Amino acid sequence: MMADRYFNPFQAIDINIPTEFHEEFTRYCQRSANAIIDQSPFQRMVDLWFLSVCVAARQGLEPADIAKYDTRKIIDGSIFGSDPWRVHALMLIAISKSGDVQIVSEPRKMISLANGLAVAGLPKVIDMLKDGDAEPIWNLSDAIDVMLRKRDVAWRHTSQCQEIDQISGTVHDRYEF
């Protein structure tokens, strides 16, 4: 199943978060026209959710079991229709975390995995927003910069590349984020 510009397999799927995190979503997302970006750096709830997914994936966190939480819908999957690049990113993250390319044919499994990653990554993102002497947007910016510059957090799937190397007999460079 190839993702094209208008393909949104998540169209009819809700994005849920534990109710205990809802306050952070309302605090750090711009809910009105007079929101102050330095205090609420995320234009939409999907932006905070997606960053949490990405931080969890980057740090090699395991998806949380969202079934253990009382959850609340924050957005529905139709939001990805306006951000088709996120569909591609979520598919790649799902393949990476599951180790199975066939997961792209199961949108509910992909969103379940992404919701679990968001729950795992959200406390990290909240810490990033709060830790520092500046406004949340600047604290977050600094923390993301530090996280991305760390070379000791290598791509978690180099072992799969090494297996391919052993089978093919070729040597590939390791990929690092």
Question: Looking up tokens 């009105």, which residue turns up?
Answer: 32
In a domain, 105, yes or no: yes
Both tokens of residue 87? 């569909």
User: What integer pLDDT is reported at residue 143 of this predicted model?
Assistant: 94
The rounded distance, in Å, linking the Cα atoms of 123 and 143 is 13
- Average pLDDT over all residues of the chain: 84
Report angle CA 66, 107, 79 to the nearest 5 degrees. Answer: 85
Residue 130 lies in a domain: yes
Residue 158 pLDDT exceeds 90: no
Do the beta carbons of residue 7 and residue 57 sit within 8 Å?
no
**Does 1 map to a domain?**
no
In a domain, 6, yes or no: no
The number of domains in the chain is: 1
Is the pLDDT at 103 greater than 50? The verdict is yes
172 alpha carbon, distance to own chain's centre: 27
Residue 153 has pLDDT above 70, yes or no: no
| 6-26: average pLDDT | 91
Contact 59, 93 (CB under 8 A): no
Per-residue pLDDT band for 38 (boundaries 50, 70, 90) equals confident
Mean pLDDT, rounded, for 72-84: 90
**Structural domain includes residue 126:** yes
Structural domain for 23, as ranges: 14-168
Q: Does 75 map to a domain? A: yes
List, in sequence order, every residue forming a beta bridge with 62; answer none if it has no partner.
Answer: none
Report the SS3 class of residue 29: strand
